[in-house]
Amino acid sequence: FQGRTSFGRNVFGCPSRWQSSMSAWVIDQYGTNEVLRPSQEVPVPAVTSATEVMIKVHAASLNPLDIAMRGGYGAKLLQLRRSPVSVKDRPEFPLILGRDVSGVVVDCGSGVTHFSPGDEVWAAVPPWKQGSLAEFVTLTEYEVCHKPKLLSHTEAASIPYVASTALSALVNAGGLCRDSSSNKRVLIIGGSGGVGTFSIQLLKAWGAHVTVTCSHNAEGLVRGLGADEVVDYTAGDPAGHLEVMEKFDVILDNIGEDTEEWAMGLLKPWSGSKYVTLVTPLLLNTDSMGLLEGTLNAGCSLQTKAIQNIISRGVFYRWGFYAPDGPALDEIRNLVDAGKILPVVEAQFPFTQVPQAFQKLEQGHARGKTVVRVA
């Protein structure tokens, strides 16, 4: 084992052959913050296939999904994704949360071509895989990307999951891309959190005109990131303020609730404009109704709204989802290294204070991201 030092680590921090366990925060049941448990006995996620890459985690960040998953959100669908054949394939617990990682490659499968031990990488960890609140995480090569050179691990960990979500929502569902966004009018409902602060910067880098809704005390932040127009939803009647503006080509809704009742009317009619919401009932439905009925119910709801909106106003109604896409993060890395996208880290916690990091996120009113320093 080349480069091995004593005490169980090689020069890249890779666990040696005799290290079989690692430190991680796990949950053994769903619930509130009390279910988070530190453990030093979690099996190291060794590389088991030719395309896998094992990463020593330096920093992770939290997303609203971590709080929801801690409480059991999406449990049925995610367990099906983990173990499509039999639930015995991969037990649900202990479950490691944490969807972002910035770290260093310590081991690669025999077929990995883009990475070598020692490479600094970042990635969004799919929710059906063991998360990044751990010493090590193992992903496929496709899910991993070289980290931006200009960012520390703490800064880099604030970006991958919201970037993958925003890219999937804006590109796949919203029909935007680097070459088609110039002067497009985009409204971001909820611009001050993780997805919002990233999306503003991406859309500005692509040349779009960006309007944002947020609280009064977030206006400076979103304007600093490039937002052209800002509507303070806490002043009341955001729909009224937005209605007097020129209509939009794309709306990205990070809030849900009653927003879609008024947002559809803000789109340019009969011109291919699109409303994309990240707040969908799919996983809630499968949790409460079961996989088949829940999926069918969500599918019917989506189809009904899509048809109603296309017939009545000529606008597209769509759902946006996180999608794993390492290569897409390459484009983001280039924008970060060019200084066009900045990390927005609101709070940092050491690995010993993961429950405090969850508490912070649970209080709401995020202004960017909450990061956990792991190494």
- Greatest Cα-to-Cα distance within the chain, rounded to the nearest angstrom: 70
State in angstroms the smallest separation of the CB of 169 from ligand NDP. 8
Binds ligand NDP (CB under 6 A): choice among 45, 148, 193, 326: 193
Binds ligand NDP (CB under 6 A): choice among 13, 148, 160, 196: 196
What single DSSP character describes residue 83? Answer: -
Q: Which distant-in-sequence residues (6+ apart) come within 8 Å of 372 by Cβ?
A: 59, 60, 61, 62, 98, 133, 157, 348, 349, 350, 351, 353, 354, 357
Residue whose CB is nearest to ligand NDP in the complex, by number: 193
- The residue range among 111-119, 139-147, 211-219, 297-305 that interacts with ligand NDP, by the rule CB under 6 A, is 211-219
State in angstroms the smallest separation of the CB of 364 from ligand NDP. 5
- The residue range among 140-148, 175-183, 303-311, 316-324 that interacts with ligand NDP, by the rule CB under 6 A, is 316-324
Share of the chain residues as helix, strand and coil, in percent rounded to the nearest 5: 35, 25, 40
Nearer to ligand NDP, 291 or 347 (CB): 347
Binds ligand NDP (CB under 6 A): choice among 138, 154, 181, 192: 192
CB atoms closer than 10 angstroms to residue 124: 29
Name which of residues 213 to 232 contact ligand NDP (CB under 6 A): 213-215
Q: Which distant-in-sequence residues (6+ apart) come within 8 Å of 271 by Cβ?
A: 249, 314
State in angstroms the smallest separation of the CB of 166 from ligand NDP. 8
Tell me the β-bridge partners of 348: 371
Rounded CA-CA distance 289/305 in Å is 20
Binds ligand NDP (CB under 6 A): choice among 73, 122, 136, 233: 233
- The residue range among 2-10, 110-118, 265-273, 278-286 that interacts with ligand NDP, by the rule CB under 6 A, is 278-286
- The residue range among 45-53, 61-69, 170-178, 244-252 that interacts with ligand NDP, by the rule CB under 6 A, is 61-69
Nearer to ligand NDP, 64 or 98 (CB): 64
Which tokens hold the place of 178?
Answer: 């680097």
